[in-house]
Structure formats: structure tokens, C-alpha cells
Chain A
Amino acid sequence: MSVASHYSYWITVLLMTAGLYIVIARGNLVKKLIGLAIFQTSVYLLYIAPGKLIGGTAPIVAEAFKLYSNPLPHVLILTAIVVGVATLALGLAITVRVRETYGSIEEDEILAADRDDPDGA
């Protein structure tokens, strides 16, 4: 019962480990970034879920409502999302340039290229 009632945490943990696993296990630079994004998403959930009160409304003062959700996690996560988007964009931009330089986005192929030609072009 208590295990099931914390399902949001279970989802968080699942996303977290899945994301991290992808980052570590995949050699493809884009797939790594996808893993990273999933990993970051788990954090959004970690913050947002506890801030929600069942039956609560948006924290805008009005006569009819007495119960409000905590707005602070939303604000924080809005910032975190922006940061995440920026990271993802930057990561993809770097990947594009890696692809242009090396002709590949597979990590082992890139490392092999560097081993064969240490000084690079």
C-alpha cells in the first residue's frame, strides 16, 4: 500500500536509472543526449510531484479557493527545464560539428579515428 502510494517516486527512480543507463551504455552521441534528457526529466518529476496538493488549485488569490499547490517547485523546474533545453541544444550542436569533422557520431569510431591520426585535421 505504502509502496504503491509513492508511485511518483517510483516513476522518478525508473526514469533516473533508465536515463543514466542510456548515457553510460550507448556509444551513439545522440542517444547519449536522449538518455541525458530522460535523466533530467526525472528531476522535474521529483520536484513537481510533492508540490501538488490533491484538490489544490493554482496559487492565485481568489475568494472561492482555499487550497493551493506549492508554486515554488514549478518556478524552479521552469528554470531547470530552460537549463535542460539549453544543455540539449548545445549537446546537439556539438554533435553536429563532431559529425561534420569526423563523419561519425559513434563514440568508438571517433576514438579510433583519433588513434589513427593523433594530430587530427
Chain B
Amino acid sequence: MRREPVLRVVGKLLIPYMLLFALYVQFHGDFGPGGGFQAGVIAAAAVIFYALIFGLPAARRLVPETVVEAMVALGVLIYLGVGFAGLALGGNYLDYFVLDRDPVAGQHRGIFWVEVGVLVTVAGVMLKIFYVFAGRARPAGE
């Protein structure tokens, strides 16, 4: 990989924008096509891109596998947490209306956090899948 300076430079240039684009897709989900699923995949793609260029060990150092697993769990917990917050504030489970004094603002707030949860989980799952298969590429096995 060291002999591919073009790739390395382009990669270093592109990866921040990929992550930024992921965030754009994430937050634009309120107003147009977009949302956590797509954003999660794009964010994961950035890391996978990094791994392809700089090698799997480097990617594992950057985003260790424990972090990936934690991301998967954390995203689900954020999502469930929104549900429980609805409960705690006196509504039904996953009730967004009670999350703010203004029901419409409550809707916004609820879906925002749910999408954050989705982003984290989807990115985590994508990376996890990538790690699982990429890590097994060598025939030596475990």
C-alpha cells in the first residue's frame, strides 16, 4: 500500500468529506430523502474505504472492534431510550408528543434521537460485518 501514493492522498482527502456527507444525509432526513440508515452506511463506507487503503490493522486501530460492538448496542439503546423517555414523561411507549411542551417540536425531537440511534447501529453493524469477513480472508483462520 505504501507504493500507492495517489490512493493514499485521495483517500485522506475524501474520507473527511464522506463523513461530513453522512452527517448531511443524517440531518437532512427531517426535510427530504435521507436519514439514519443511509447515513450509517455512508459513515461505515468511509471507514471501510480507509481500511481498504491503509490496511485492516490500521482500521482496527482507528475503530477497534470493541467500539464497533458497543456502537451496535448503543444505537439500539438510544432508540429504546427514546421509547422509555416517552414512558417516563407520561405518554405511551415511543410517544414523541410528550417529549416537548409543543407536540410538533416533540415529534422533531423524538425522530431526531431515533435517527441518531439508527445511524450509530447501522454504522456499527456495517463495520462489524466488514471486520468479520475481512478478518477471515487469510486461509490460516483463527
Give A residues with C-beta under 8 Å from B.
Answer: 58, 60, 78, 82, 86, 89, 92-93, 96, 100
Contact = CB atoms under 8 A, between A and B. Distances in A.
Interface stretch (B30-38, B81-89, B91-99, B109-117): B30-38
Interface string B111-142: 00000000000000100010011001000011
Contact of A78 (B37, B125, B136, B141): B37
Interface of B: 31-33, 37, 125, 129, 132-133, 136, 141-142
Contacts of B136: 96, 100
Contact of B37 (A58, A82, A86, A96): A82
A48 to B, nearest CB: 14
Interface SS of chain A: helix, strand, loop or mixed? helix
A78 B141 CA distance: 35
Contact of B132 (A58, A60, A78, A93): A93
Nearest to B122: A82
Nearest to B142: A100
B33 A96 contact: no
B141 A100 contact: yes
Contacts of B32: 58, 60
B88 to A, nearest CB: 26
Contact of A58 (B33, B125, B141): B33
A92 B37 contact: no
A92 B136 CA distance: 12
B31 A96 contact: no
Contacts of A58: 32-33
Contacts of B141: 100
A67 B105 CA distance: 26
